[in-house]
A and B are shown apart, each in its own frame.
Chain A
């Protein structure tokens, strides 16, 4: 039987593209709805999006047996989701670059141009975050991936990863105590995304056509990573931290290390989720 064909380079690409697309979407949304509360998130989000998405694309090319021929993915006619992803990335990464430049040069760039670029970038970020589940679903040899819940599961996870990556960046380079409102918003949105993620995981398992693959996740070789990594580290502990932060009477941000933990865990959980799903189907 064919073995594990897609390993850590592909998993790494899924994770980095997820962070990049999620961070871009979160920032573009915050900027386009002119949110005062989330204003501090916008710039770091775009700065995260560019290097993660670009590095992800590089990993994807390095995974090829003949990386020097990667331009062949643009051969037409294209019926493969893999080609669709290549087009999405090829447009998204430059848009992400342009957006980062705009924010580096702000306020010298007219707002209208920024809005247009961010809307376009947002559409492609959405595509990048969503298509990976479709790519996996099209792989007829791996029934575990054939469910319409998977694209949305990975999409929600991308948003969660992007948002928490932005939060970590805010923690690292600003006096975070002054950002009470932004952090409250981060905790709230993180919690919402974690709840949606849990629902999507249930959907993925419930609609799955591959009982053998599901048992690899729930009781087999990947069960420790699934329960410990995806559920406990990725959802339960960070959700508890978010709840604790939101329920505090003072409303002040938590200590730096506790916030960092609350943000790093969903990010780690998102990475583990991708590897678990990638490997469970190929075992």
Chain B
């Protein structure tokens, strides 16, 4: 079974937001009320109705102001913390790549939102469940590209087998002296970014390469060690106290 990934080449993106529109259109998601905020970000954040958006980041270049466009959407982690921490198994990582929430199983505990290091899932208070990008699992399953990829007029978004996408990302990053993001983050993802500036400078979060299972087993082990250590100290102190009171008793007879 082939495994797929998305490649987002920020150096080719012009911020046209065709991907945003294609996503809305394919999933028949409501439009958002326009908000005038910082920069040209619109909508300003992901919502339960907006699963992808292009983030506009301005940085000062050597001679001019530079504009960077970033795809903000699910990275479809190899071991998704959202799925790992979902108490109902409503979230599935498919072998083909997509990480999908089944809203008919979701109980709306929002643990996935607390668990996503990329800040992607969003809660719909009215429906009482959580939504996010599906990597168009429905389209992928019949051999089509995700809607965002198909709509991109500048091929800033590419879709294909994981190894090919990662290889393309690395080649492109080397050519423009840029960076690859998404290969190591959270233990690996199914979306690779090529950025000219350092990912952190263009608004991508710094995410530990640790897998969620490693993170939790490390936390549990450390918690156990602290508890064990504390228990040894407490038992030691109690034995010392008993010995002292015994000494005091026998000492009294002397």
Binding site for B on A (CB under 8 A): 1-2, 5-6, 63-67, 69-70, 72-73, 75-83, 86, 130, 133-134, 137-142, 146, 148-149, 151-152
Is B29 part of the binding interface, using a Cβ–Cβ cutoff of 8 Å?
Answer: no
Instruction: Determine whether the beta carbon of B108 is less than 8 Å from that of A64.
Output: yes
Is B98 part of the binding interface, using a Cβ–Cβ cutoff of 8 Å?
Answer: no
Instruction: Determine whether the beta carbon of B110 is less than 8 Å from that of A140.
Output: no
Neighbour of A64 across the interface among B107, B117, B208, B225, CB < 8 A: B107
B222 CB contacts on chain A under 8 angstroms: 148
A1 CB contacts on chain B under 8 angstroms: 45, 119
Instruction: Determine whether the beta carbon of A65 is less than 8 Å from that of B219.
Output: no
Is B245 part of the binding interface, using a Cβ–Cβ cutoff of 8 Å?
Answer: no
Q: A73-B87, A138-B212, A138-B216 are in contact. Are A65 and B108 (CB under 8 A)?
A: yes
Instruction: Determine whether the beta carbon of B128 is less than 8 Å from that of A64.
Output: yes
A140 CB contacts on chain B under 8 angstroms: 81, 85, 114-117, 186, 208, 212, 215
Q: How many residues of B contact A (CB 8 A)?
A: 45
A64 to B109 Cα, complex, angstroms: 5
Q: A64-B128, A86-B87 are in contact. Are A151 and B223 (CB under 8 A)?
A: yes
A146 CB contacts on chain B under 8 angstroms: 215, 219
Is B171 part of the binding interface, using a Cβ–Cβ cutoff of 8 Å?
Answer: no
A83 CB contacts on chain B under 8 angstroms: 87
Instruction: Determine whether the beta carbon of A77 is less than 8 Å from that of B89.
Output: yes
A75 to B186 Cα, complex, angstroms: 25
B127 CB contacts on chain A under 8 angstroms: 65
Neighbour of B85 across the interface among A65, A81, A148, A151, CB < 8 A: A81
Instruction: Determine whether the beta carbon of A138 is less than 8 Å from that of B115.
Output: yes
Per-residue 0/1 for B19-49: is the Cβ within 8 Å of any A Cβ (1 yes, 0 no)? 0000000000000000000000000010000
A133 CB contacts on chain B under 8 angstroms: 223
A139 CB contacts on chain B under 8 angstroms: 85, 111, 114-115
Q: Which residue of B lies closest to A203 (CB)?
A: B226
Instruction: Determine whether the beta carbon of B128 is less than 8 Å from that of A75.
Output: no
Is B198 part of the binding interface, using a Cβ–Cβ cutoff of 8 Å?
Answer: no
Instruction: Determine whether the beta carbon of A80 is less than 8 Å from that of B87.
Output: yes
Neighbour of A2 across the interface among B90, B106, B113, B213, CB < 8 A: B113
Question: How far in angstroms is the closest Cβ of chain A from B242?
Answer: 14
B128 CB contacts on chain A under 8 angstroms: 64-66
Q: Which residue of B lies closest to A146 (CB)?
A: B219
- 19 more contacts with CB within 8 A, not counting A64-B109, A65-B125, are A65-B127, A66-B106, A66-B107, A66-B128, A66-B129, A69-B107, A73-B87, A73-B109, A75-B89, A78-B89, A79-B84, A79-B85, A80-B111, A138-B81, A139-B115, A140-B212, A141-B116, A141-B117, A152-B230
Is B122 part of the binding interface, using a Cβ–Cβ cutoff of 8 Å?
Answer: yes
A70 to B108 Cα, complex, angstroms: 9
Question: How far in angstroms is the closest Cβ of chain A from B85?
Answer: 5
Instruction: Determine whether the beta carbon of B223 is less than 8 Å from that of A134.
Output: yes
Neighbour of A141 across the interface among B107, B119, B219, B223, CB < 8 A: B119
Q: A1-B119, A2-B113, A70-B107 are in contact. Are A138 and B223 (CB under 8 A)?
A: no
A73 to B86 Cα, complex, angstroms: 9
A127 to B186 Cα, complex, angstroms: 28
Is B56 part of the binding interface, using a Cβ–Cβ cutoff of 8 Å?
Answer: no
A5 CB contacts on chain B under 8 angstroms: 110, 113-114, 123
A151 CB contacts on chain B under 8 angstroms: 223
A79 to B106 Cα, complex, angstroms: 16
A148 to B128 Cα, complex, angstroms: 32
B45 CB contacts on chain A under 8 angstroms: 1
Question: How far in angstroms is the closest Cβ of chain A from B79?
Answer: 10
Q: Which residue of A lies closest to B103 (CB)?
A: A66
Instruction: Determine whether the beta carbon of B213 is less than 8 Å from that of A72.
Output: no
Per-residue 0/1 for B218-251: is the Cβ within 8 Å of any A Cβ (1 yes, 0 no)? 0110110111001000000000000000000000
